[in-house]
């Protein structure tokens, strides 16, 4: 038996390793020796997993925690933070260290417990009315001081408008390396963090390491796996008192867009419509289908240009780059510009009239047919039970 | 008002391939451009400068001069190229150290503008790192700028809207494409920029940054490898009546727990 896992760069969600052994993305499994396994390892599709002892947190090394910056807005923890806690837990098991979340807020009101329930062993908590809204200088000083005092080995932030403002500022202040917008984090044989990030809009992936401590990354929302909410998990809360200076910038107002902004990047399922829908009103069936399975609605550039749907729904080179669990392309031919924005989705389903449409080349499941018939049939198949 | 704009010369496309024999990016034959959001920064500087001057600055190899000449053609007053073999391979931290030294060398300014991120590295880190290095306040993701008596009021884009932020000058802003529509250079501007204007070149002899803080060796991060994400192979084509296909597909999605059971 060999303990193996599917390489992150492997394009499909599963691989057949012979004798009925199928290895899926994200799982680590013991597979008996076979020709298929040997070949898959040689081709780099599959890698031999590092032996990880199930770690119970009792023998944690000291002074080398993994930290998660727990961004909050309106006293609500951002979803990406919970994903980061899941990622940090996976890293912590390889390193045998504790995961700590750092939260700056006005009042705790259960936030620490939430962080513990989702994977933090420890929460560093600072409460102050002046920490209510994110301010670059106030937050930079607070986190930099804490990092200098407690010396975590890794600090991760969500690659949000807050994280990408804060993390570079901290990296410069404490003179350590930072990698932006990571989509995969791992630990190598030297116990160092290996950070994979897209460059050139996702056409190239780069693996980056850091020579200094702490190793810091911002991590793209929506790619890391959140752990289930475990209300019985135990953890400690360390209250910290900060010296807070007056911020040099002043937030006068925060304005929410009237319409809920489409959040394609954070969505687990995206259903996109293209020219094959024939006319604007047919987008309604896409919307209905999307609401039934909790998906966001995406679109090709062609239909955005036609004015069938707003620009913030556009997926592709000039729109959003997405990587959901499931992407359903409806009546989209799959030009390279569109594929650039969605080809890293975990699973792709394509529906198109033209059997030679480019989109089928990257689809896990393809249906040749008229979207205007197939989508109502799918809706019926869901409702029909 | 005197404004410094930091720009980067980048490949004119994100469709870049890797040379399998060297494992490096193939840049030959790919035209270079000014990074798109840096063009928004140049335009904003021209709109705001009044009687002051706009100094564009870039760090890069000698050919990055072309990007500066284009900025001059659009209307920038002065151009500075930071070029030295010792700068090569700098990551964002080291780059910020070099830019900060250059800003101090250029002297008095009221505002520094940068594009939010470059289309090659996609890090969005150099702007904030430069601000920190210079001890300036920063506002990132700026989509609107108003100046009023030594104060600046901006709209900062958020994921679900925007915030209005105010601060005093000097400040560093990183701007996004929603800020403005960059102008094209005039023919006369292009002629002047490429035939008559001078580019000031600064090396580390001029800037005198500690060599422990610049270049490949001193950079805290390093690229271990680059690779192209493999395209997916073609999967299964579902056949049969539309009704049967739909049923089969929904069943599969439920089995794989991709969609919830209702």
Disruptive mutation site among B229, B231, B239, B241 for chain A (greatest number of A CBs within 10 Å): B229
Q: Residue A59 pLDDT > 80, yes or no?
A: no
Residue in B closest to A221 by C-alpha:
B159
B-chain residues within 8 Å CB-CB of A137? 137
Question: Up-side HSE of residue B165: CA atoms within 13 Å toward CB?
Answer: 26
pLDDT at B260: 62
From A9, A171, A248, residue closest to B129, measured CB to CB: A171
Query: How many other β-carbons are positioned within 10 Å of the β-carbon of residue B164?
Result: 16
B-chain residues within 8 Å CB-CB of A366? 234-238
From the list B12, B219, B70, B178, the residue with the least C-alpha distance to A201 is B12
* A209 beta partners: B222
Candidate from A117-121, A268-272, B95-99 with smallest mean pLDDT: A268-272
Query: How many other β-carbons are positioned within 10 Å of the β-carbon of residue A292?
Result: 15
Classify residue B193: in a domain, yes or no: yes
Q: What is the rounded CA–CA span in Å between residue A259 and residue A176?
A: 40
Classify residue B227: in a domain, yes or no: no
CB atoms A11 and B224 under 8 Å: no
A-chain residues within 8 Å CB-CB of B240? none
Q: Do residues A228 and A113 touch, judged by C-beta distance below 8 A?
A: no
Disruptive mutation site among A365, A368, A375 for chain B (greatest number of B CBs within 10 Å): A365
Q: Residue A230 pLDDT > 60, yes or no?
A: yes
Classify residue B252: in a domain, yes or no: no
Task: Give the mean pLDDT of A182-194.
Answer: 94
Classify residue B189: in a domain, yes or no: yes
* pLDDT by 10s per residue, chain B, length 262: 999 999 999 998 777 788 877 777 787 778 899 999 999 999 999 999 999 999 999 999 999 999 999 999 999 999 999 999 999 999 999 999 999 999 999 989 999 999 999 988 899 999 999 999 999 999 999 999 999 888 999 999 998 789 999 999 999 999 998 899 999 999 999 999 999 999 999 999 999 999 999 999 999 999 999 988 776 667 788 989 999 999 989 888 887 777 764 4
From A199, A211, A249, residue closest to B165, measured CB to CB: A249
- How far B226 CA sits from the closest chain A CA (Å)? 4
Domain with residue B78: its CATH number is 3.40.50.620
Q: Residue A335 pLDDT > 50, yes or no?
A: yes
Classify residue B98: in a domain, yes or no: yes
From B159, B161, B249, residue closest to A378, measured CB to CB: B249
From B131, B160, B243, residue closest to A261, measured CB to CB: B160
Average pLDDT, chain A: 89
Q: Quick check: helix, strand or coil at residue A131?
A: helix
Classify residue B261: in a domain, yes or no: no
Classify residue B241: in a domain, yes or no: no
Q: What are phi and psi of B54, to 5 degrees?
A: -115, 115
pLDDT at B20: 77
| pLDDT band, very low/low/confident/very high, at A365 (cuts 50, 70, 90) | very high
Q: In terms of DSSP bridges, do strands A204-210 and B221-227 run parallel, antiparallel, or are they unpaired?
A: antiparallel
CB atoms B237 and A367 under 8 Å: yes
From A171, A365, A381, residue closest to B236, measured CB to CB: A365
DSSP string computed for A212-266: SSSEEEEE-TTSSPPPPP-TT---EEEE-----PPPSEEEEEEEE-SSPPP-GGG
Classify residue B230: in a domain, yes or no: no
Residue in B closest to A266 by C-alpha:
B159
Q: What are phi and psi of B261, to 5 degrees?
A: -80, 135
pLDDT at A50: 64
Chain centroid offset of residue B157 CA: 17
Task: Give the mean pLDDT of A233-239.
Answer: 95
| pLDDT band, very low/low/confident/very high, at A259 (cuts 50, 70, 90) | very low
For B184-203, b/e burial (b = at least 16 CB within 10 A) is ebeeebbeebeeebebeebe
Task: Give the mean pLDDT of A135-157.
Answer: 96
CB atoms B246 and A380 under 8 Å: yes
- How far A59 CA sits from the closest chain B CA (Å)? 30
CA distances from A343 to A61, A362, B54, B162 (A): 40, 7, 42, 30
Q: What is the rounded CA–CA span in Å between residue A198 and residue B120?
A: 10
Q: What is the rounded CA–CA span in Å between residue B164 and residue A197?
A: 31
The pLDDT tens digits for A64-94 are 899 999 999 999 999 899 999 999 999 999 9
- The pTM assigned to this predicted structure is 0.77
| pLDDT band, very low/low/confident/very high, at A54 (cuts 50, 70, 90) | very low
Count CB pairs under 8 A between chains A and B. Answer: 255
| Domain enclosing residue B66, as ranges | 3-218
CB atoms A367 and B235 under 8 Å: no
Domain total for chain B? 1
pLDDT at A44: 80
Residue A107 CB partners (closer than 8 Å, separation 6+): A75, A127
| pLDDT band, very low/low/confident/very high, at A55 (cuts 50, 70, 90) | very low
Task: Give the mean pLDDT of A357-369.
Answer: 92
Kindly state the tokens that stand for A155.
């600090």
Q: Quick check: helix, strand or coil at residue A181?
A: strand
Spatial strand order in the sheet of A184-187: A184-187, A193-199, A204-210, B221-227
């Amino acid at each position: 038996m060999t303990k193996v896992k599917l390489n992150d760069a492997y394009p499909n969600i599963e691989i057949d390793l012979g004798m009925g052994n199928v290895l899926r993305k994200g799982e680590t499994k013991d597979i008996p020796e076979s020709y298929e396994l040997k070949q898959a390892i040689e081709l780099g599709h599959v890698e031999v997993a590092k032996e990880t002892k199930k770690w119970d947190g009792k023998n944690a090394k000291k002074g080398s925690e993994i930290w998660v910056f727990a961004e909050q807005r309106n006293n609500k923890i951002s979803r990406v933070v919970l994903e980061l806690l899941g990622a940090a837990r996976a890293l912590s098991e390889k390193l045998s260290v504790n995961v700590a979340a750092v939260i700056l807020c006005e009042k705790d009101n259960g936030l620490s417990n939430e962080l513990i329930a989702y994977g933090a062993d420890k929460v560093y908590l600072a409460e102050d009315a002046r920490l209510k809204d994110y301010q670059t200088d106030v937050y930079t000083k607070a986190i930099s001081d804490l990092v200098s005092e407690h010396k975590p080995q890794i600090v991760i932030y969500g690659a949000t408008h807050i994280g990408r403002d804060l993390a570079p500022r901290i990296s410069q202040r404490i003179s350590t390396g930072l990698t932006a917008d990571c989509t995969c984090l791992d630990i190598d044989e030297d116990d160092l963090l290996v950070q994979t990030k897209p460059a050139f809009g996702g056409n190239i992936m780069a693996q980056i390491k850091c020579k200094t401590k702490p190793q810091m990354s911002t991590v793209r929302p929506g790619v890391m796996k959140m752990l289930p909410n475990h209300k019985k998990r135990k953890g400690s809360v360390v209250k910290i008192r900060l010296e807070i200076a007056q911020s040099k910038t002043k937030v006068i107002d925060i304005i929410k867009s009237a319409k809920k902004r489409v959040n394609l990047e954070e969505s687990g399922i995206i259903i996109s419509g293209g020219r094959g829908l024939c006319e604007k009103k047919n987008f309604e069936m896409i919307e209905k289908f999307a609401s039934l399975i909790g998906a966001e609605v995406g679109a090709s550039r062609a239909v955005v240009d036609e004015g069938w749907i707003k620009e913030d729904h556009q997926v592709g080179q000039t729109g959003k780059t997405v990587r959901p669990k499931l992407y359903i392309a409806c009546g989209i031919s799959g030009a390279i510009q569109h594929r650039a924005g969605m080809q890293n989705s975990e699973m792709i389903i394509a529906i198109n009239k033209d059997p030679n449409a480019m989109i089928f080349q990257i689809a896990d499941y393809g249906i040749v047919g008229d979207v205007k018939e197939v989508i109502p049939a799918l809706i019926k198949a869901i409702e029909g039970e | 008002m005197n404004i410094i704009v930091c720009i980067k010369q980048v490949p004119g496309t994100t469709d870049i391939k890797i040379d399998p024999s060297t494992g490096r990016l193939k840049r030959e034959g790919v035209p270079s451009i000014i990074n798109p959001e840096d063009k928004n920064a140049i335009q904003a500087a021209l709109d705001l400068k009044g009687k002051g001057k706009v100094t564009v600055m870039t760090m890069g190899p000698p050919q990055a001069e072309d990007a500066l000449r284009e900025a001059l053609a659009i209307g920038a007053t002065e151009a500075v190229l930071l070029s030295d073999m010792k700068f090569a391979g700098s990551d964002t931290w080291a780059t910020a150290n070099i830019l900060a030294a250059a800003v101090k060398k250029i002297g008095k300014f009221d505002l520094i503008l940068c594009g939010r991120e470059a289309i090659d590295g996609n890090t969005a880190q150099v702007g904030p790192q430069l601000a920190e290095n210079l001890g300036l306040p920063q506002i990132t993701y700026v989509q609107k700028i108003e100046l009023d008596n030594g104060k600046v009021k901006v709209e900062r884009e958020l994921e679900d809207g925007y915030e209005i932020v105010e601060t005093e000058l000097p400040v560093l802003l990183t701007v996004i494409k929603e800020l403005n529509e960059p102008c094209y250079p005039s023919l006369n501007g292009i002629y002047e920029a490429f035939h008559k204007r001078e580019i000031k070149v600064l090396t580390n002899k001029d800037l005198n940054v500690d060599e422990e803080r610049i270049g490949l060796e001193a950079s805290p991060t390093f690229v271990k490898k680059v690779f192209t994400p493999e395209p997916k192979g073609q999967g299964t084509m579902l056949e049969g009546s539309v009704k049967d296909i739909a049923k089969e597909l929904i069943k599969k999605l439920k089995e794989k727990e991709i969609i919830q059971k209702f």
